[in-house]
Amino acid sequence: MQYEHILVETRGRVGLVTLNRPAALNALNDRQMEELGHALLAFDGSDDVGCIVLTGSEKAFAAGADITEMAGLNYADVYKSDFITRNWEQIRRVRKPVIAAVAGYALGGGCELAMMCDFIIAADTARFGQPEIKLGIIPGAGGTQRLPRAISKSKAMDMCLTARMMDAEEAERAGLVSRIVPADRLLDEAFAAAEVIAAMSLPTVMMIKESVNRAYETTLGEGLLFERRLFHGTFATEDQKEGMQAFLEKRLPSFKGV
């Protein structure tokens, strides 16, 4: 697939996708989301990639879904096409970790896209918000669902109902982002984290992602059982033997992903 609105590269075992419609502050259009899903799934299927970083520009991770594209749609249009599901749901199919490296605006669908990633590293310039209410719509890609799970009902209601933005400090305090870094260090820090992950055992990494995500979908009892069964499964890997042997021999492990 020829990409128009994203840039894709690999550095070592880390795949990088950069949203690239700077003139529109990375307002996410249909084509761009199709490209994003395609690129993420290609990295997911590549043996050479162990972790993925998704980023935007200095000014905007993404300022939301593309309002010019949405403005002319009516109810029948969005219902029939199940608007946004087709492309955006692809991201949920990615089984390797995806780190969102967010600088500038992450608004509406941009904030929702960041929350679809596995964790968010924020530049000190990052600003998060769900301003859809100002357009007469509600968040449609998880803002009313992932945000309360991430930052509490009270803060999620505040953000979605008043459309106010949260700066990086508040987002970190609230638990939306895992860490804040200086803006000029954002990609380096995201890569450093991704490289750490990519050097781990890939099946183990994938099991952790699957297990943490299960916490959002199930009861504690079922989640604990799911975790324990995956934990047992790690003992069937050569990487478990290597990891424990390396510890006992006081050396670094060399994981093979098997």
Contacts with ligand HXC by CB under 6 A lie at 24-25, 27, 63-68, 84, 105, 107-109, 131-132, 135, 140-141
Q: Which is nearer to ligand HXC, 59 or 179 (CB)?
A: 59
Cβ distance to ligand HXC smaller for residue 65 or 98: 65
SS3 of residue 69 by DSSP:
helix
Say if CB 51 and CB 13 are below 8 A apart. yes
CB of 174 to ligand HXC, least distance (A): 20
Residue among 37, 10, 52 nearest 197 (CA): 52
Kindly calculate the radius of gyration of the chain based on its CA atoms and give it in whole angstroms.
19
Residues 139/157, Cβ–Cβ less than 8 Å: no
User: Residue 197: which H helix or E strand, with range?
Assistant: helix 186-198
Picking from 159, 63, 54, 56, the residue whose alpha carbon sits closest to that of residue 108 is: 63
Nearest CB to ligand HXC, comparing residues 43 and 105: 105
In angstroms, give the least distance from the CB of 213 to ligand HXC. 20
Q: 91-124 burial string, b = 16+ CB within 10 Å, else e?
A: beebbbbbbbbbbbbbbbbbbbbbbbbbbbbbbb
Residues recognised as catalytic: 65, 109, 112, 132
Comparing CB distances to ligand HXC, the nearer of 133 and 206 is 133
Q: What is the smallest separation between the CB atom of 105 and ligand HXC, expressed in angstroms?
A: 4
User: Minimum CB separation from ligand HXC for residue 131, in Å?
Assistant: 4
